[in-house]
């Protein structure tokens, strides 16, 4: 059910700032489902 930190790090290692938009959405969705806030979700940039 939960993602490991290694998986999280690998999924972001080669994604550019533009291409990672969908990934950020996935992490935010993951947060809504589990309550785990991941720093890669960039909540500080969410408006």
Domain ranges of the chain: 17-47
pLDDT tens digits for 2-45?
555 555 554 555 545 555 678 778 877 877 777 666 566 566 66
Task: Provide the pLDDT for residue 38.
Answer: 58
The model's pTM is: 0.30
**How buried is 7 (Cβ within 10 angstroms: 0-12 exposed, 13-18 middle, 19+ buried)?**
exposed
Task: Provide the pLDDT for residue 25.
Answer: 81
């Amino acid at each position: 059910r939960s993602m490991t930190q290694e998986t999280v790090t690998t999924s972001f290692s080669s994604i550019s700032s533009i291409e990672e938009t969908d990934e950020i959405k996935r992490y935010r969705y993951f947060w809504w489902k589990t309550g785990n806030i991941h720093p890669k979700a960039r909540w500080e940039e969410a408006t």
